[in-house]
């Protein structure tokens, strides 16, 4: 009974939560540094695309993982230049990142593979099995440790709470925020890689399907702390698993509920959770404030 529950619910929930966990941890670090991060969706899409393309060409998912991290880092650099150097509105810049990532991968896919819908399938032997789950566990443990027990974590948190204290200590607030943005790009890019090389076998257009925004909701629900944020991701992953299992099931009457109504369950839960949680969560004091 326990083994069946683990294999049917726990493991699938952890699997579908992996992209959310990576993206949410990245968003948490960025926002703790004082920079609003709504570009997680774009980082995930770019990471998913370049991971799938690299894995397809080299038949090596680990190279795909590196490519995803680097592509997320490159896109985060563009975002950082916009909001830290040119003082662009952070919400507008994040929206632009998402729109950029919606258009560029299909364009490159058309150029390279003559298809805007999806990339060629990844060979079965080149797909991940449990490696992303191990990497996810390591990322969680490192985030918890760095967040609470290191100088880096303390200074990055101070950049979003008390930047004047960092300035008085001779530490660059802008540099700490650059680091937060870079971490969000790398981790969200890896989250995208899990979509295309772990949960799927290719990149498909807009395959993140709002997961970047759900990850941001998990950050808010988790009050910008690692462990609560991860637990929120698991909650949303569980609702995703439930909607998968409810498709085609007759709940009442003689016919199943239309699949469209079942598929909105994770987004409905996200909306309800945010409705009741936002007022009780306190964002970093200088979040979105340009120094």
Q: What pLDDT is attached to residue 279?
A: 64
Nearest to 249, CA basis, from 237, 232, 261, 239: 261
Of 71-75, 120-124, 257-261, the range with the lowest mean pLDDT is: 257-261
With respect to residue 285, please indicate whether it lies within any of the assigned structural domains: no
- Distance (Å, whole) CA 23 – CA 216: 8
- Distance (Å, whole) CA 59 – CA 130: 17
- CB-based contacts of 237, cutoff 8 Å, min separation 6: 13, 14, 16, 17, 20
With respect to residue 291, please indicate whether it lies within any of the assigned structural domains: no
With respect to residue 289, please indicate whether it lies within any of the assigned structural domains: no
Structure tokens, 131: 């490696």
Query: Which letter does DSSP use for residue 127 in this model?
Result: S
Q: Is 198 helix (H, G, I), strand (E, B) or coil?
A: coil
Q: Half-sphere exposure (CA, 13 Å, Cβ side) for 80? A: 20
Of 101-105, 167-171, 248-252, 271-275, the range with the lowest mean pLDDT is: 248-252
In terms of C-beta density within 10 A (0-12 exposed, 13-18 middle, 19 or more buried), how is residue 47 classed? Answer: buried
Mean pLDDT, the chain, rounded, equals 89
Q: What is the count of structural domains for the chain?
A: 1
Q: Quick one: pLDDT band at residue 291, thresholds 50, 70, 90?
A: low
Q: What pLDDT is attached to residue 276?
A: 75
Q: Quick one: pLDDT band at residue 201, thresholds 50, 70, 90?
A: confident
Q: Quick one: pLDDT band at residue 267, thresholds 50, 70, 90?
A: confident
Q: What pLDDT is attached to residue 230?
A: 96
Domain containing 89 equals 2-280
Q: Quick one: pLDDT band at residue 116, thresholds 50, 70, 90?
A: confident
Q: What pLDDT is attached to residue 117?
A: 83
- On the question of pLDDT at 185 being above 80, the answer is yes
With respect to residue 255, please indicate whether it lies within any of the assigned structural domains: yes
DSSP per residue, 39-97: -HHHHHHHHHHHHHHHHHHHS-HHHHHHHHHHHHHHHHHHHHIIIIIS---HHHHHHHH
- CB-based contacts of 176, cutoff 8 Å, min separation 6: 33, 155, 156, 158, 159, 166
Q: What pLDDT is attached to residue 122?
A: 87
Element (H, E) at 154: helix 151-161
Of 8-12, 30-34, 42-46, 173-177, the range with the lowest mean pLDDT is: 8-12
With respect to residue 57, please indicate whether it lies within any of the assigned structural domains: yes
Q: Phi and psi at residue 25, in whole multiples of 5°?
A: -65, -40
With respect to residue 169, please indicate whether it lies within any of the assigned structural domains: yes
With respect to residue 287, please indicate whether it lies within any of the assigned structural domains: no
What confidence tens digit (pLDDT) does each residue in 208-263 have?
988 999 999 999 999 999 999 999 999 999 988 888 887 777 666 667 777 777 88
Percent of the chain with pLDDT over 70: 93
- Looking up residue 46, the CATH number of its domain turns out to be 1.10.3470
């Amino acid at each position: 009974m326990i083994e069946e529950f683990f294999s049917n619910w726990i493991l699938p929930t952890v699997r579908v939560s992996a992209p959310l966990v990576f993206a949410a941890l990245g968003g948490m670090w960025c926002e703790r540094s004082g920079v609003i991060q709504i570009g997680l969706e774009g980082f995930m899409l770019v990471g998913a695309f370049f991971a799938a393309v690299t894995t397809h060409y080299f038949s090596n998912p680990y190279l795909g993982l590196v490519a995803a991290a680097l592509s997320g880092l490159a896109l985060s650099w563009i975002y950082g230049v916009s909001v830290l150097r040119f003082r662009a509105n952070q919400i507008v810049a994040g929206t632009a990142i998402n729109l950029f990532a919606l258009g560029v991968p299909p364009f490159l896919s058309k150029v390279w593979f003559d298809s805007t819908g999806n990339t060629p399938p990844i060979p079965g032997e080149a797909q991940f099995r449990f490696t992303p789950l191990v990497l996810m566990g390591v990322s969680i443990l490192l985030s918890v440790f760095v967040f609470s027990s290191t100088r880096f974590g303390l200074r990055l948190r101070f950049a979003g709470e008390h930047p004047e204290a960092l300035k008085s200590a001779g530490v660059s607030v802008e540099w700490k925020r650059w680091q937060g943005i870079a971490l969000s790009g790398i981790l969200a890019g890896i989250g995208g890689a899990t979509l295309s090389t772990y949960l799927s076998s290719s990149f498909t257009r807009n395959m993140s399907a709002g997961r970047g925004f759900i990850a941001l909701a998990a950050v808010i629900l988790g009050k910008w702390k690692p462990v609560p944020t991860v637990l929120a991701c698991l909650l949303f992953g569980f609702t995703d698993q439930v909607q998968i299992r409810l498709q085609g099931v007759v709940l009442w009457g003689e016919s199943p509920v239309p699949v469209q109504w079942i598929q909105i369950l994770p987004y409905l839960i996200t909306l309800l959770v945010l409705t009741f949680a936002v007022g009780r969560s306190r964002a970093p004091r200088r979040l979105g404030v340009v120094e």
